[in-house]
Amino acid sequence: MIHFDNSYARLPQGFFARVAPTPVAEPRLLALNEGLAHRLGLDAAWLSGPEGVAMLAGNAVPQGAEPIAQAYAGHQFGGFVPQLGDGRAVLLGEVVAPDGARFDIQLKGSGPTPFSRRGDGRAWVGPVLREYIVSEFMHAMGVPTTRALAAVATGETVWREQGLPGAVLTRVASSHIRVGTFQYFAVRGQEDALAALTDHVIARHYPTANGPLSLLDHVIARQAETIAHWMALGFIHGVMNTDNMAVSGETIDYGPCAFMDAYHPDTVFSSIDRGGRYAWAQQPQIAVWNLAQLATCLIPLMGERDAAIEAATKSVHAFAPLYQAAWRRRFGEKLGLTEAADVQPLTERLLTMMAQQRADFTRVFAGLSDGSARDEFIDRDVFDAWARDWQAQNPDPDLLRHANPLRIPRNHRIEEAIAAAVTGDLGPFRRLFDAVTHPREGRADWNDLADAPRSEQIVHQTFCGT
């Protein structure tokens, strides 16, 4: 059994709609994250049994759960939508882990809600397994992220231009509160609701914050760290809309996300990002833009308007130096260097060479440990000149190995795992999952998963989970 304590469901009715998940035909467990279950204090044996699978599929609502769909708004590719909300997800409730930390338990793909906007509220197995793999890799690398507790097949067909096998993902987060949650109430002029939401977020995530401006500062600082970590892994979120930015600082909503193979700062994978708004190099600037929207929401709670605008603007401007410091630290670690070393010029020289020669992002950094990085370059003399300057800084081998994964969830490998899963073969998914959740572990039987894609394997576009 799971014991729920549902603080968000105790907020006023306008924050959510009460809705139960829609039962599915034939629930079958595809994957259970036993390590995460242990972290949450949950019984993995119960979760994998009939009662647990029924709950994970949405066929049974356990005692104490209060299923809701959260309301929020959002800027989507710069255009504001005043009502979005959980259109295919239901928050069952919150659990308190043995160490006292509070986590949301949410079912994605659990059927329609009042926010579905004519959608079916379902998910197919592809995006469910993609999020399962990618979010758990991010966790393994220390990136703040939502996590995957379970994936369950529904025994039903989901129609996305063709019939595809349905699935439900059980997502775990420190909360699902977004910048768009604040926007939902701000656009309606509901200052009492904004104040209640602010108090809730402070209590849940930032207990040292002292009021709305302090909350803004805390969110900005945490987002600066998260985005810098994305950049250091070559991760591209794909849909950095304000409704996809969690105020907890966790990475949320893995839709058309991807990791770069060949490095270029303008890399985009998402099929819906035709203008490159959310390209790899644009992510820090988009984070600032999103945080400015949060600041705008909080200004009415900060007292005299002109002074509030000045203070909030100053806070948003603080993102840049915080991010730059985090970036230098992350890339310094990738070079095996401390912040005291000459990190930025060395990193920028290396990235420029990589972009010019289309060198593989992950293999270059991982190859710094064993000397194989130069093999990723066409003009090795240029790399050797850089490497002499780098070696003169006395890089730390242990720091190099810790900061640089040997394997990432490469796009073509994810697609292969999904294609096999559609036929009922979960072997490639399980192998890939095991390999990328032990990203620093050298094993000969995983060596092929570290390879860059051949030309015919390159994935040029990824797609939204809906």
pLDDT of residue 140: 98
- The fraction of the chain above a pLDDT of 90, given in percent, is 94
Give tens-digit pLDDT for 222-251. 999 999 999 999 999 999 999 999 999 999
Residue 118: band (very low, low, confident or very high) from pLDDT cuts 50, 70, 90: confident
Global model pTM greater than 0.95: yes
> Cα(186)–Cα(192) distance, rounded to whole angstroms?
10
Give tens-digit pLDDT for 393-422. 999 999 999 999 999 999 999 999 999 999
**Is the Cβ–Cβ distance between 188 and 12 less than 8 Å?**
no
Q: Read off φ and ψ for residue 158, nearest 5 degrees.
A: -110, 135
pLDDT of residue 13: 86
User: Buried b vs exposed e over 38-53: b needs ≥16 C-beta within 10 Å?
Assistant: ebbebebeebeeeebb
Other CB atoms within a 10 A radius of the CB of residue 448 amount to 10
| Active site residues per annotation | 243
Q: Distance from CA of residue 426 to its chain's centroid? A: 23
pLDDT higher than 80, residue 188: yes
Residue 342: band (very low, low, confident or very high) from pLDDT cuts 50, 70, 90: confident
Give tens-digit pLDDT for 152-167. 999 999 998 899 999 9
Residue 461: band (very low, low, confident or very high) from pLDDT cuts 50, 70, 90: confident
Cα-Cα-Cα-Cα dihedral sign, residues 437, 442, 447, 450: positive
